[in-house]
């Protein structure tokens, strides 16, 4: 099933970079606080556990991609589930990607208006972000991915600089007591790690068919996710080591508080706004891929001639949705804490499993027929 809508091709290295960006994504903003709220000083264990639990999920997607190498997620759904059910599930997935993107735009807007630009209205930030997003989407998948490739060294450099500059402030005593409340809080925290960095990667299933497959693609797919998880582990670990468990769970954006702590010889200090750039980058690429997944999904579901024409209405929709998706900050945090993880798991774990089962059933039927 050669796709006529998307003619771009991306290399394995670009895919790996994309995975790292998407894993770090908005998790670098929200994950330390969520896991520390759940698991206190053992939040770093949650990250390890969550990362381990994510590997089977990645494997399930890999299996789907292997059985249908040329088809993106929507095409798989439509071919396995038929015209009407498949169309419904395809539309459902597109709507899911849309809402994830809306949430991400809102999260970035919230971050700016809480920490840096307090009197600026959310809509101004959203407008700027949507403008860049629309421009990127209009150019296509390949330019977006190539931009990611361009920014990746800077992203890594700033992250490394942040980590290095924080090492004088580490206090290992903050990690004790080790597992004093048992494994249950760690499991709780690992739910967020499983979902926000990893399960939300399911949008990549829309992009995987356009990757030039090489011998190392499969290996790099897992390695990139692990690398992203490693970055998250370091961030959560450093938050705990430098700020302590109470501040990590109580601060809205612990990574910003971390960046505030950088002070080299009273000269290199107050650099937190510069560090915020890396978070904007990672959130942007996650939003871009989810937006792309939505647009491509809509085009596939309704068998349209192209997806670029939908960018205009999409921007209007997101401008509105990013604003109304939550009436206030508290509600959004509550949803992220209690309900959103399960929606992510349904779409990233349950539905792909059902698709795999449908695939296996289909194969058995043809085998029986033959």
The set of residues, in sequence order, having a beta carbon less than 8 Å from that of 265 and lying 6+ positions away, is none
Nearer Cβ to other proteins, position 324 or 370?
324
Query: Residue 266 Cβ, how far from other proteins at the closest point, in Å?
Result: 10
Q: Kindly write down the DSSP assignment for every residue of 345-370, as one continuous string.
A: HIIIIIHHHHHHHHHHHHHHHHHHH-
Nearer Cβ to other proteins, position 9 or 363?
9
The interface with other proteins within residues 165-204 (CB under 8 A) comprises 173, 176-177, 180, 184-185, 187-188
Of 93, 77, 70, 97, which Cα lies nearest the Cα of 5?
A: 70
Q: And the tokens for 103?
A: 């949430």
83 near other proteins, rule: CB under 8 A: no
Q: And the tokens for 132?
A: 């860049």
Q: Binding residues for other proteins, how many (CB under 8 A)? A: 66
Query: Residue 261 Cβ, how far from other proteins at the closest point, in Å?
Result: 8
Nearer Cβ to other proteins, position 188 or 218?
188
155 close to 281: Cβ distance less than 8 angstroms: yes
Nearer Cβ to other proteins, position 218 or 260?
260
304 near other proteins, rule: CB under 8 A: yes
Give the three-class secondary structure for 211.
Answer: strand
114 near other proteins, rule: CB under 8 A: yes
The interface with other proteins within residues 314-333 (CB under 8 A) comprises 314-317, 319-327, 331-332
CA distance 323 to 109: 10
Q: Which of 13, 213, 218, 260 binds other proteins (CB under 8 A)?
A: 260
**Upstream peptide bond of 177 is cis (omega within 30 degrees of 0):** yes
| Burial of 33 from C-beta contacts in 10 A (0-12 / 13-18 / 19+) | buried
Q: Kindly write down the DSSP assignment for every residue of 167-204, as one continuous string.
A: GGG--GGGGPSTTTT-SHHHHHHHHHHIIIIIGGGGGG
261 near other proteins, rule: CB under 8 A: yes
Q: Which of 160, 342, 357, 361 binds other proteins (CB under 8 A)?
A: 342
155 near other proteins, rule: CB under 8 A: no
**Which of 49-57, 148-156, 194-202, 255-263 is the region at the interface with other proteins (rule: CB under 8 A)?**
255-263
| Burial of 243 from C-beta contacts in 10 A (0-12 / 13-18 / 19+) | buried
Q: Which of 343, 353, 354, 356 binds other proteins (CB under 8 A)?
A: 343
Q: Which of 141, 226, 243, 348 binds other proteins (CB under 8 A)?
A: 243
CA distance 47 to 306: 40
Query: Residue 237 Cβ, how far from other proteins at the closest point, in Å?
Result: 17
Nearer Cβ to other proteins, position 23 or 94?
94
Q: Which of 28, 257, 276, 355 binds other proteins (CB under 8 A)?
A: 257
Query: Residue 226 Cβ, how far from other proteins at the closest point, in Å?
Result: 27
305 near other proteins, rule: CB under 8 A: yes
Give the three-class secondary structure for 326.
Answer: coil
**136-141, Cβ contacts within 8 angstroms, sequence gap of 24 or more:** 136/288, 137/288, 137/291, 137/292, 137/295, 137/308, 137/311, 137/314, 138/308, 138/311, 140/6, 140/8, 140/308, 141/6, 141/8, 141/10, 141/207, 141/210, 141/292
CA distance 71 to 51: 27
264 near other proteins, rule: CB under 8 A: no
The interface with other proteins within residues 282-301 (CB under 8 A) comprises 298
301 close to 74: Cβ distance less than 8 angstroms: yes
294 close to 94: Cβ distance less than 8 angstroms: yes
Q: Which of 59, 154, 302, 329 binds other proteins (CB under 8 A)?
A: 302
Query: Residue 157 Cβ, how far from other proteins at the closest point, in Å?
Result: 24
Contacting positions for other proteins (CB under 8 A): 8-9, 37-38, 99, 114-121, 123-124, 142, 173, 176-177, 180, 184-185, 187-188, 243-244, 246-247, 250, 257, 260-261, 263, 269-270, 298, 302-306, 309-310, 312-317, 319-327, 331-332, 335, 338-340, 342-343
């Amino acid at each position: 099933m050669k796709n006529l809508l998307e003619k771009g091709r991306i290399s394995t290295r670009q895919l790996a970079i994309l995975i790292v960006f998407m894993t770090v994504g908005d998790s670098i903003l929200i994950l330390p606080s969520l896991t520390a709220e759940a698991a206190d000083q053992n939040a770093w264990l949650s990250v390890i556990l969550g990362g381990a639990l994510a590997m089977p999920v990645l494997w399930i997607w890999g299996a789907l991609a292997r059985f249908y190498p040329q088809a993106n997620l929507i095409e798989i759904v439509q071919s396995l589930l038929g015209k009407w059910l498949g169309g419904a599930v395809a539309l459902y997935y597109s709507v899911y990607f849309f809402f994830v993107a809306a949430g991400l735009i809102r999260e970035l807007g919230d971050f700016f208006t809480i920490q840096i630009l307090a009197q600026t209205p959310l809509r101004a930030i959203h407008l700027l972000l949507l403008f860049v997003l629309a421009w990127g989407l209009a150019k296509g998948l390949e330019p977006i991915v190539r931009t990611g490739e361009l920014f990746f060294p800077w992203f890594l450099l700033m992250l490394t600089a942040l980590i290095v500059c924080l090492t004088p402030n580490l206090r290992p005593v903050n990690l004790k007591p080790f597992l004093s409340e048992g494994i249950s809080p760690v499991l709780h925290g690992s739910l967020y790690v499983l979902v926000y960095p990893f399960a939300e990667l399911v949008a990549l299933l829309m992009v995987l068919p356009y990757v030039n497959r090489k011998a190392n693609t499969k290996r790099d797919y897992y390695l990139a996710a692990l690398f992203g998880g490693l970055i998250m582990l370091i961030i959560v670990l450093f938050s705990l080591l430098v700020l302590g468990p109470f501040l990590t769970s109580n601060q809205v954006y612990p990574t910003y508080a971390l960046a505030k702590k950088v002070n080299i010889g009273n000269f290199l200090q107050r650099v937190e706004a510069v560090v915020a750039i890396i978070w904007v980058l990672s959130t942007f690429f996650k939003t871009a891929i989810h937006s792309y997944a939505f647009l491509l999904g809509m085009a596939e579901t309704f068998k349209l001639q192209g997806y670029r024409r939908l960018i205009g209405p999409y921007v209007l929709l997101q401008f509105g949705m990013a604003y109304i998706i939550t009436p206030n900050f508290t509600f959004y945090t509550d949803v992220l804490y209690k309900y959103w993880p399960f929606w992510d798991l349904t779409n990233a774990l349950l539905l792909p499993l059902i698709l795999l089962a449908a695939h296996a059933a289909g194969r058995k039927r043809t085998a029986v027929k033959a």
